[in-house]
Amino acid sequence: MAEIVLRDLVKHFGSAVAVAGVHLQIEDGEFLIMVGPSGCGKTTTLNMISGLETPTSGEIFIGDQVVNDLEPGERGLGMVFQDLALFPHMTVFENIAFGLRVKKTEEAEVERRVRAAADAMHIGALLDKRPSECSGGEAQRVALARTIVNDPSVFLMDEPLSSLDAKLRLDMRTELKHLHHRLRATFVYVTHDQAEAMTMADRIVVMEGGRIEQVGAPLEIYRRPASRFVAGFFGVPTMNFLEGEVAAGAGDGLEFRSTRVVQPLSASTPAAVAGSAATLGVRAEHVRLAPSDDGAGRVTLTEPLGDETLVFFEFGGSAPLVAKVDPDSPLGPGDPVAFDFDRDWCHLFDPESGARLN
Amino acid sequence: MRPGGRSRLRRYRQAWVRHAILLAWTFFIVFPLYWMLSTSFKDAGEWVSWPPHWYPHEFTIHNYRQIFTFSALGEELSRDATEQAFSIWKALGDSLLICSVASFLALVLGVFLAYAISRFAVGGSKFRHIILTIRMVPPIVIAIPILMYYAIMIPFTTELLFGARITLFDTYFGLGALYVATTLPFVIWMMLSFIDEVPFTLEHAARMMGAGRMYTLRRVVLPLVASGLVVTYLFVFILNWSEFLLALTLTHPEVTTLPVLLNKFQSASEGRLYGPQAAIGTVITIPVVVLGVLIQKHLIKGFSFGMIRR
């Protein structure tokens, strides 16, 4: 069993609080991705699981054993580092064999397992080379093979794709997902790239300021962000935000009022929100645009992406809004537009705490 | 003349002046070395002849034969001082033994200390600079106090406590230990710059695979700083090889290093034997020059590492 439980995990560096009470259960065989901006505590959390950092307080369970006092090498984990950390003075073979030799494995067994791991990662031809002679993608595979060969039940990965170019990164994402399916091991993966998290994870942990903001499946996080921070962190382009207040509408429903915007809200909006200040969040794909001479908006910029086009428009509010439209849309800079939002996809957040209101 | 032509002329003239100055300086530096080499091949009559002989008129290897005899130092007293044997074997052996062992011990200790300072900030963030200030103390300041310890206080104390006189004066251990202590700051400083360059994620990776500290140090860190180890060892060896003051103060007559032996030829009892002296000087200098040239590039690298830290 490779279930990991973090209980009230806290880490201080001097007076700075890196991780401020993390509570998390990682299921056996799960691909869990911790995501957040720099300094949110995700890498520190990973390092505490690995044993490279000692928690200030709290407990870490692997299986049903508390591992706080175990050395990194005794926890049965494998780790891939951001800079890959291949040993430059050793050949690829020696790199992969390192962990086995530490455990004084018989040399014939070392040979057999290194070759098996290398074949699994398609780097059998590189075994006599030095890491410096490998390309970025090859080095990545060597680092994975070096981890796989030790047969860990949990793989920890600290932004392993960040050193690759964009194309290779996409390929490696697919490959990592395949690897996870094949090995059925637990993957704990840290990244600051929300797209990486969305594409690979079974579950995403969003962190900010040393705390967990939200835990959930990728689509759940995208569709129902628990806070304004999560809403703004996921999705490209960034979600539109409007400051205003919630009030009783014309019918029996509620509506959101802001400068030049009155947006009816869905019937499921809790009545308790009425009368309070709120931040309305709406994604670009839920903004509906129509050319209209007496519309409130005016297009400032368009960005064709091929399969869709982003339209930025002013409407007299504090910041321009962005909408996703059909690529064949005739809209161009200067065109007047009318706009409204899909009421089922309007997110309301507390302007102070950022917590979700609806 | 076009302005461009004039500035080119000026540049040309500047280059001339620069080279002339550098050549004069080089001559100034190299001439004594040449004179030493040339004197070492001169016969006794030519050492101080006037006008000076710019090169040996009667080329001889007599001086070298004299210093490489196997007689004990100053054993045969001859009326003709030039026929007297001044074997350097004993001093050469002493120098080699003390310098190589002391440099090695300083290296071993220094590597561990540098590792601890680099990885765990032992002693605080300024400690690495404080270490180097130890070298600001001139050797003369410690020479006499150490002599008091070696020759008087330690023998006296040990006799009082254990009933046996243990002296460090005029012993291999006494001089060697002092060489370890005085060169340790250099070893730490130089090795720090090399060890700092080894990414600590390499050590993390090794630890994740179950390697202990010593295993990681032996298999990962030390192989990566191997060239640094060699450079540091040679640098410290050269320092010890040419050390004079401490050796002069703390040894005699049992232990004699080459720089101390070299000084004997200038004293009243042995006279001024420029020939053998020049021959010994040449023998001492050659390894230093060879090593210096070999490690020159690494030395600059080793020192500049500390200056251009991230």
Which CATH number does the domain housing residue A104 bear? Answer: 3.40.50.300
Residue A222 sits at the chain B interface (C-beta within 8 Å): no
* A293 has pLDDT over 60: yes
A73:B209 CB<8 A: yes
A70 and A17 part of one domain: yes
- Domain end, chosen from A232, A256, A279, is at A232
Cα radius of gyration (chain B): 25
Q: What Å distances lie between residue A273 and A242, A258, A344, B220, CA to CA?
A: 16, 15, 16, 61
A250 and A332 part of one domain: yes
* B6 has pLDDT over 80: no
Tokens of B201: 């994620």
Sequence-ordered alpha helix ranges (H) in chain A: 42-50, 92-102, 107-120, 136-148, 166-183, 194-200, 218-223, 228-233
Q: What Å distances lie between residue A78 and A148, A153, A269, CA to CA?
A: 7, 8, 46
At residue B300, the pLDDT reads 67
Element (H, E) at A338: strand A336-341
Tokens of B129: 């600079």
| 8 A C-beta contact, residue A96 and residue A146 | yes
Tokens of B180: 């370890």
A85:B205 CB<8 A: yes
* B69 has pLDDT over 80: no
From chain A, pick out residues whose CB is under 8 angstroms from the CB of B209.
73, 98-99, 102, 146, 150
Q: Which domain holds residue A306?
A: 239-349
A209: in domain:
yes
A335 and A218 part of one domain: no
B211:A52 CB<8 A: no
Q: What is the mean pLDDT of chain B?
A: 85
A87:B199 CB<8 A: no
| % pLDDT > 70, chain A | 100
Q: Among residues 172-201 of chain B, which lie with CB inside 8 Å of chain A?
A: 199, 201
Residues A145-173, mean pLDDT to the nearest whole number: 92
Task: Categorize the per-residue pLDDT at A100 as very low, low, confident or very high, splitting at 50, 70 and 90.
Answer: very high
Task: Categorize the per-residue pLDDT at A138 as very low, low, confident or very high, splitting at 50, 70 and 90.
Answer: very high
A213 and A311 part of one domain: no
A210 and A243 part of one domain: no
Give the least confident one: A42-46, A196-200, A218-222, B7-11. Answer: B7-11
CATH number at residue A279: 2.40.50.140
At residue A58, the pLDDT reads 95
* B79 has pLDDT over 90: no
Smallest Cβ distance to B208: which of A72, A86, A87? A72
From chain B, pick out residues whose CB is under 8 angstroms from the CB of A74.
210
At residue A354, the pLDDT reads 93
| % pLDDT > 90, chain A | 81
Smallest Cβ distance to A102: which of B202, B209, B224? B209
A186 and A282 part of one domain: no
Residue B214 sits at the chain A interface (C-beta within 8 Å): no
Smallest Cβ distance to B202: which of A87, A146, A150? A87
Q: Which residue of chain B is at minimal alpha-carbon distance from A72?
A: B208
What pLDDT, in 10s, does the model give residues A227-264?
999 999 999 899 999 999 999 887 778 999 988 888 99
The C-alpha of A195 sits at a distance from chain B's nearest C-alpha, in angstroms, of 26
User: What dihedral angle (degrees, nearest 10) is formed by the CA atoms of B82, B87, B91, B94?
Assistant: 180
* B73 has pLDDT over 60: no
Q: Name A22's bridge partners.
A: A9
B205:A81 CB<8 A: yes
B208:A87 CB<8 A: no
Q: Name A33's bridge partners.
A: A189, A204
Cβ-in-10-Å burial (0-12, 13-18, 19+) of A352 comes to exposed
Distance CA A152, CA A144 (A): 12
B201:A79 CB<8 A: no
Domains: count for chain A: 2
A163: in domain:
yes
A73:B202 CB<8 A: no
At residue A321, the pLDDT reads 94
What pLDDT, in 10s, does the model give residues A179-205?
999 999 999 999 999 999 999 999 999
Strand order in the sheet with A336-341: A287-291, A336-341, A297-304, A309-314, A321-325
At residue B269, the pLDDT reads 61
A355: in domain:
no
> Residue B178 contacts by C-beta under 8 Å, 6 or more apart in sequence?
B146, B246, B250
Smallest Cβ distance to A102: which of B210, B223, B224? B210
At residue B72, the pLDDT reads 47
Residue B209 sits at the chain A interface (C-beta within 8 Å): yes
The predicted complex's ipTM stands at 0.84
At residue B78, the pLDDT reads 43
A153 and A301 part of one domain: no
From chain A, pick out residues whose CB is under 8 angstroms from the CB of B206.
87, 98, 102
Smallest Cβ distance to A89: which of B201, B208, B224? B224
Distance CA A139, CA A135 (A): 6
A357: in domain:
no
Q: Which residue of chain A is at minimal alpha-carbon distance from B224?
A: A89
A259 and A219 part of one domain: no
B224:A88 CB<8 A: yes
Tokens of B307: 């200056």
A268 and A225 part of one domain: no
A139 and A42 part of one domain: yes
- Domain end, chosen from A165, A198, A232, is at A232
- Domain end, chosen from A206, A232, A258, is at A232
Q: Among residues 222-241 of chain B, which lie with CB inside 8 Å of chain A?
A: 223-224
Distance CA B278, CA B294 (A): 24
A280: in domain:
yes
Element (H, E) at B175: helix B172-195
A81: in domain:
yes
Q: What is the mean pLDDT of chain A?
A: 93
* A212 has pLDDT over 50: yes
Give the least confident one: B35-39, B118-122, B260-264. Answer: B260-264
Buried b (16+ CB within 10 A) or exposed e, A165-193: eeebbeebbebbeebbeebebbbbbbbbe
Give the least confident one: B67-71, B88-92, B125-129. Answer: B67-71
A52:B205 CB<8 A: no
Tokens of A83: 């800079």
Distance CA A183, CA A116 (A): 14
At residue B36, the pLDDT reads 93
Phi, psi torsion values for A58, nearest 5 degrees: 100, 170
Cβ-in-10-Å burial (0-12, 13-18, 19+) of B245 comes to middle
At residue B309, the pLDDT reads 35
Task: Categorize the per-residue pLDDT at B7 as very low, low, confident or very high, splitting at 50, 70 and 90.
Answer: confident
Decide the pairing of beta strands A336-341 and A297-304.
Answer: antiparallel
Q: SS3 for B243?
A: coil
Tokens of B300: 């600059």
B208:A78 CB<8 A: yes
Task: Give the position of tokens 């200067």.
Answer: A334
CB-based contacts of A73-77 (< 8 A; 24+ apart in sequence): A73/A102, A73/B207, A73/B208, A73/B209, A73/B210, A73/B211, A73/B212, A74/B210, A75/A50, A75/A51, A76/A2, A76/A152, A76/A153, A76/A154, A77/A49, A77/A50, A77/A51, A77/A152, A77/A153, A77/A154, A77/A155, A77/A156, A77/B208
The C-alpha of B301 sits at a distance from chain A's nearest C-alpha, in angstroms, of 20
At residue B86, the pLDDT reads 67
Q: Which residue of chain B is at minimal alpha-carbon distance from A143?
A: B205
A356: in domain:
no
At residue B226, the pLDDT reads 85
Distance CA B185, CA A354 (A): 55
A296 and A155 part of one domain: no
* B252 has pLDDT over 60: yes
Q: What Å distances lie between residue A14 and A11, A18, A56, B116, CA to CA?
A: 10, 10, 10, 20
A98:B209 CB<8 A: yes
Q: Among residues 90-119 of chain B, which lie with CB inside 8 Å of chain A?
A: none
Q: Name B306's bridge partners.
A: none
Report the predicted TM-score, pTM, of the whole model to 2 decimal places.
0.80
A112 and A261 part of one domain: no
What pLDDT, in 10s, does the model give residues B133-150?
887 888 889 999 999 999
A271: in domain:
yes
At residue B70, the pLDDT reads 66
